[in-house]
Each structure stands twice: as C-alpha cells, then as structure tokens.
Amino acid sequence: MLHRNKYPAYKYPALAVVSLASLALLTACGGSADGADNSPAAAASGSDGAAGTLTVYTSEPQAKIDEVVAAYNKVNPDVSVEVFRAGTGELKTRIATEKETGGIQADVILAADVPTFEAYAAEGDLQVLDIDNTAELNQDVVDAEGYYVGTRIIPTVIAYNTTLVDNAPESWAELAEEDYRGMIAMPNPDVSGAAAFNTAVWLETPALGENWLKDLITNEPTVLESNGPVGQAVAAGTSGIGIVVDYVARELAAKGSPISLSYPADGVPYVSQPAGVFTDATNPDAANEFVEFLVSKEGQELAVAQSYLPVRDDAGVPEGAPSLADIELLNPDLAVIAGKQADAVAKFNDLLK
C-alpha cells in the first residue's frame, strides 16, 4: 500500500517560514506551460494514492500544522485534511468524551508525549502502523510494538532574557538557587504534554528528584498555560528565565528578541511528538500515509525548517541548533514515566498550593 520512495527529498531553508500562500504559489509556478504539474511530488503521488477525508488531532502550533498539511497535500492531493488543534490535555479530554459517546472521531493523533500514546496503545485505541520507513529513524523514538513513532526531537531548555540575566543558569540545579526567586516562568503540566512529561522525568532523575522540585517551587515560578506564553514572557522581559521547549526560544531569537538558551548540563528532557493511527480511524490508508510523510526525509526537512530537531540523520538541523550528539539527553524508562506521569503532575500541583 505504501511506497518508501513516494516522498522525494526537498530542501527547506533553515528557519524558513513557509506560509500556505507561498506553498500554493510554488505549486502554481511548478506546472508546465499547459498547466500540468510536473513536479516530483505530483509524479510520485500516482493514481493509487490515498484519498478521502483525514481527521488529525494535534497539539502542534497551528501555523506549523498548516504547513505540514500543505506539504502533505502536494503529494496526496486527493486527501482533504481536517485538523483539530489543542493542548495535549484538552485533546485527551476530547478523546475520552468521544470514547464514551460512540468512538474516537479522528484518524491520526500527533501530540507531545510518549506516555499519552502508551496509555492509548494499552487501551486498544491505536492500531499498529503500516509504514515503511521506521528503519531510517532514530530508534529511540520508534515504538518497539509499532503503535506510534516520534516525529521530532523537542528538548526542554533554560531560556533567558539577555538584557536581564548576566550569568545565565546552565543546569536545572541552579534554578533552585535563591538568586532566581521570582524570575522563572514555566508551562502548566495540566495543559502542556511536554511539561507533564518533564515533571515525571525530573522526579525520576536521581540528581534532581522531589527535593529539587520543592526548591524550584519555593522560588515562586510563574506558571503559564503553555510553552508559547513562557517564551513570550522571557522575550518581553516579564520573566528573566523560562523553562521552555527549545524551538520557541530559537524562533524568538531569530526574530530579534533578546532571548538565548542553554541545554542544561545535568540532562535535557525531551518529547518526540509521536504520531499514531486510531483503531477507530475511518481512513487508515490516508492516516498511515500522513504518518509516513511526517518521518520521511521531506517531512523531516520541513520539521527542521520549522526549527525542530529531526528524528533522522539525513535532514540537517535548524540554524544555530546543536546536533543531538552534543546534547546530554535524558532517556528514562518510558514505561516508568508513563506509569508515574499523572502522579507527578498531581505532586507538582500540591507543591504549588
């Protein structure tokens, strides 16, 4: 059904902002003199490609998922993609409601953290993926049982306002020091899947653990809804320091904001924004094509252009970003994190009281 070579390698400029309008213009300009589209993507799509309506639930920022859909539709023009975008917490609430009232209404889920996917797989809500290119990926993001696959590496880092902070912290341990009281902003783990995952990872990291989390909360962090507002707070100077995913800080810096970032020396938690296909999917062919596109070379080059670190080695890295080999990534037992994430979020909320 699926064709490994369907997705040729396209070069996306680092940190390019690819709007839907510009993609449409590129498509129009790519045709022949008689109006036919002779691009490699069009040639590759063929007559046996996916078709129909595809519904995607995602926590991706709206502008980024719009770009992904536009690129996917260049290769699969007969698929009409409908997107519902929300934070991971809201997505989980919506899915739970749908399960109680007749069945999940989406084909694909693309959201932040592995524990969410582990839970859905255990409950029978995900089907085994039918894609061809998982061997080409970083195997740390590939589910051994085949229910989901990571689509980008999203580390959480320490961002800081360069006009307010002279000596930037370089470790999580430093954030618990009294010097940073009242200066820190961080996302709400009840809303952000990455923040919920990070909380569980911190608690399971021996050098940090519950004592460190207590000390961090003692420093009176400002808890904002999600990573976007945290980045904006640091860029605007309302918070000197932010615990935030790296691409948010990198994009703000590229736009001229006085923000920089450090990858903590005592370990960097990350989410892999997995994608999976629901058991209730009404269009599994298009759903698997969509997931395969996300992790194809073309899909990963688009991810790099969107300032994400890729899940394959042949797609480059965003301008100014380190290679994965240069980051001290934390790789905890994901089954343990999945089992403890809800309790970790509850612990965080108790400490805030």
Q: Are 27 and 161 in contact (CB under 8 A)?
A: no
Mean pLDDT by 10 residues, the chain (353 residues): 39 36 37 40 48 96 97 96 94 97 97 91 97 95 96 97 95 97 97 94 96 97 96 98 97 96 96 97 97 98 96 94 92 91 96 91
- Please give the DSSP secondary-structure letter assigned to residue 139: G
CATH number for the region 154-270+327-352 comes to 3.40.190.10
CATH 3.40.190.10 positions along the chain are 4-153+272-321, 154-270+327-352
* Alpha carbon distances (Å) from 159 to 131, 202, 227, 252: 37, 18, 11, 11
CATH number for the region 4-153+272-321 comes to 3.40.190.10
* Alpha carbon distances (Å) from 231 to 81, 314, 329: 30, 29, 21
* Alpha carbon distances (Å) from 166 to 98, 161, 183, 314: 50, 9, 13, 37
CB atoms inside a 10 Å sphere around CB 274: 28
- What pLDDT is recorded for position 112? 82
- What pLDDT is recorded for position 157? 98
DSSP labels for 240-287? SEEEEEHHHHHHHHHTT-SEEEE--TT-B-EE---EEEETT-S-HHHH
Q: Are 275 and 141 in contact (CB under 8 A)?
A: no
Q: Residue 311 is encoded by which pair of tokens?
A: 């899940």
Task: Report the predicted TM-score, pTM, of the whole model to 2 decimal places.
Answer: 0.82
- What pLDDT is recorded for position 48? 60
